[in-house]
């Protein structure tokens, strides 16, 4: 009987994939394409089969993240009418009550219009000087835009689409991109507090290597469960079976 050839080892797979990426890089002419290939190659260069880490032992930077300010605890900004300020407080209170980890998916049809309304009110009534991350009111606005962008992005999750199909894909795409751009307008750059939405936007654009690179660079600021889960998912989307299987085993204790 003819024996089957032994399966390709993880190290052999890694070597072959690195060679293929190096060849692709030599023929890539665009800056974005090269950045994506380099991100993939760098990750595979660093990966040692069987030695993938779950989280760093010294992970402690989450306490450095800015907390979302509560408008009810802030003084009413100059030029912000009392009735409008009370409305903003009421909108944020309702938004925080329904946009929780446990209820987020079920409440998207309420969260999206609510976050959009609060974003519009704060954007109209806060002075330009207050719409920056130098102020607590500006941080409240940024978190509102983050919640809106995240809620729109959740629309694409398979279990959400089953309950709430996207009827007009082009309109949805415009809404998501506009919300994300409004978040970037206030943050000016990637912020640790909102890094997961930056990561998701890279993934959906097909830049999964750069998304993986961004995830690794911010791992100390991300809840361990979500870091390990998103690493596993990205490796699967990349079609990298060997590291994906290792990452999936590391996620098993968190899988609920």
How far apart (Å, rounded) are the C-alpha atoms in residues 141 and 126?
9
pLDDT of residue 6: 46
CB 238 within 8 A of CB 40: yes
The tokens for 126 are 């806060």
Dihedral sign for Cα atoms in the order 96, 101, 107, 110: positive
Residue 184 has pLDDT above 70, yes or no: yes
Nearest to 152 by CA among 96, 206, 113: 113
How sure is the predictor about 2, in pLDDT bands with cuts at 50, 70 and 90? very low
CB 183 within 8 A of CB 23: no
Average pLDDT over residues 74-99: 97
How far apart (Å, rounded) are the C-alpha atoms in residues 121 and 83?
12
Residue 59 has pLDDT above 90, yes or no: no
How sure is the predictor about 5, in pLDDT bands with cuts at 50, 70 and 90? very low
Kindly report, residue by residue over 90-114, the tens digit of the pLDDT: 999 999 999 999 999 999 999 999 9
Average pLDDT of the chain is 93
Residue 218 has pLDDT above 60, yes or no: yes
Residue 52 has pLDDT above 70, yes or no: yes
How far apart (Å, rounded) are the C-alpha atoms in residues 181 and 179?
5
CB 65 within 8 A of CB 218: no
Average pLDDT over residues 53-79: 86
Half-sphere exposure (Cβ direction) of 56: Cα atoms closer than 13 Å: 12
How far apart (Å, rounded) are the C-alpha atoms in residues 48 and 11?
8
Residue 58 has pLDDT above 70, yes or no: no
5 versus 138: which is more confidently predicted?
Answer: 138
pLDDT of residue 60: 66
Kindly report, residue by residue over 116-139, the tens digit of the pLDDT: 999 999 999 999 999 999 999 999
Average pLDDT over residues 24-47: 97
The tokens for 114 are 């609510």
* DSSP state string for the chain: -PPPPPPPPHHHHHHHHHHHHHHHHHH--SHHHHHHHHHHHHHHHH--TT---SS-TT--GGGGSPPPPPGGGSPPPTT--HHHHHHHHHHHHHHHHHSSTTTTTTTHHHHHHHHHHHHHHHHHHS-GGGSSTTSHHHHHHHHHHHHHHHHHHHTTSHHHHHHS--S-HHHHHHHHHHHHHHHHHHHSS--GGGHHHHHHHHHHTT-HHHHHHHHHHTGGGS-HHHHHHHHHHHHHHTT-HHHHHHHHHHHGGG--
How sure is the predictor about 56, in pLDDT bands with cuts at 50, 70 and 90? low
pTM: 0.91
């Amino acid at each position: 009987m003819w024996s089957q050839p032994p399966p390709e080892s993880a190290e052999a797979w890694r070597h072959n994939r690195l060679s293929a990426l190096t060849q692709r890089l030599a023929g890539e002419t665009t800056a974005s394409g090269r950045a994506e290939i380099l991100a993939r190659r760098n990750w595979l260069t660093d990966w040692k089969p069987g030695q993938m880490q779950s989280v760093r032992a010294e992970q402690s930077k989450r306490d450095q993240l800015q907390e979302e300010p509560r408008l009810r605890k802030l003084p009413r900004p100059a030029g912000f009418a009392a009735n409008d300020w009370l409305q903003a407080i009421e909108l944020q209170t309702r938004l925080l009550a329904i946009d929780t980890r446990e209820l987020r998916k079920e409440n998207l049809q309420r969260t999206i219009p609510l976050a959009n309304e609060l974003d519009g009110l704060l954007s109209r009534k806060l002075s330009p000087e207050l719409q920056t991350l130098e102020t607590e009111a500006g941080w409240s606005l940024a978190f509102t835009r983050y919640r809106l962008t995240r809620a729109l992005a959740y629309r694409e999750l398979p279990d959400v689409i089953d309950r709430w199909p996207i009827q007009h894909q082009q309109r949805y795409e415009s809404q998501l991109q506009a919300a994300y751009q409004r978040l970037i307008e206030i943050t000016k750059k990637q912020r640790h507090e909102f890094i997961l939405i930056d990561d998701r936007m890279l993934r959906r654009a097909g830049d999964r290597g750069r998304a993986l690179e961004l995830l690794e660079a911010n791992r100390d600021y991300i809840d361990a469960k979500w870091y390990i889960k998103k690493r596993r998912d990205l490796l699967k989307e990349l079609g990298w079976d060997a590291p994906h299987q290792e990452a999936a085993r590391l996620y098993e204790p968190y899988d609920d």
